[in-house]
Amino acid sequence: MERRVPVDEGVELWVEERGDPARTPLLLVMGANASGLVWPEALVDGLARQHRVVRYDHRDTGRSTWAFDEHPYAVRDLASDAVRMLDALGIDRAHAVGMSMGGILVQLLLINAPDRLRSATVLCTSALGTGLAGDSDLPGPAPELLAYWQTMGEERDVEAELDWRVEHWRLLNGHGVPFDPAEFRALEQRVIAHSGTPRGPVAHALADQSGLDRGPELAAVRVPTLVVEAPEDPINPPPHAPHLAGLIGSATLATVPGMGHALPAAVVGPLTELIAGHTAAVDAEEQRVR
């Protein structure tokens, strides 16, 4: 089921739900400048076997409102969007899964709205105050990615834009699992058709990053949290995941061998199994203590 949900004045988010609405909700929070369609269908379907799965387009991506030029916002506002969306859907508490910038947003939810979360899973991300959103001694993105990002947002025709996006995914994928250009070209063809434009989203790269230096507050988190390490991640390489898991008082650390900063078919099965196992254990414990 698809719908558009208002989250701010003049801003609506495209939302899709899948699975039995009577099951515990699970919210998928995608990364920067990425439509919710980037979540692989096999992962969404796998999680929908035990959850009411909600995925959505951030503002300025996909079918959600694009208005950054007229109404700029901060990255932290995207976490508020997620809470307002849960409100609009009548969801009191959800499992939250965040990838990349989505992992940053889930960390903000762990601090600002822990009562809205049953559990959290973060992957391919860095701790608040580190990585792209901070300053630390941890390693930064690969130089070839930083150079490639300089061409983000340039005007291209559809085929050239598809070529740019596929090459971007190749760089993000890393070298741990095979990269299939046809798989990611088909993904981006679906994303462009869904968005209705080949224009590449860039708003989140321009958004205000203030208010994200809150890593020390993660020590107080008590929501059951799974940190998934992507050992071949060229944006947040090891030891970002162990560092984040060490900051969160309730965290468990797990690894998907070979995973980079992309979700090719080769990693979807192991990742789905990790997330589903984590959320099932939390749901079972909640049932036990009732």
| Residues annotated as catalytic (active site), given as ranges | 100, 233, 261
| Token reading at 266 | 């080769």
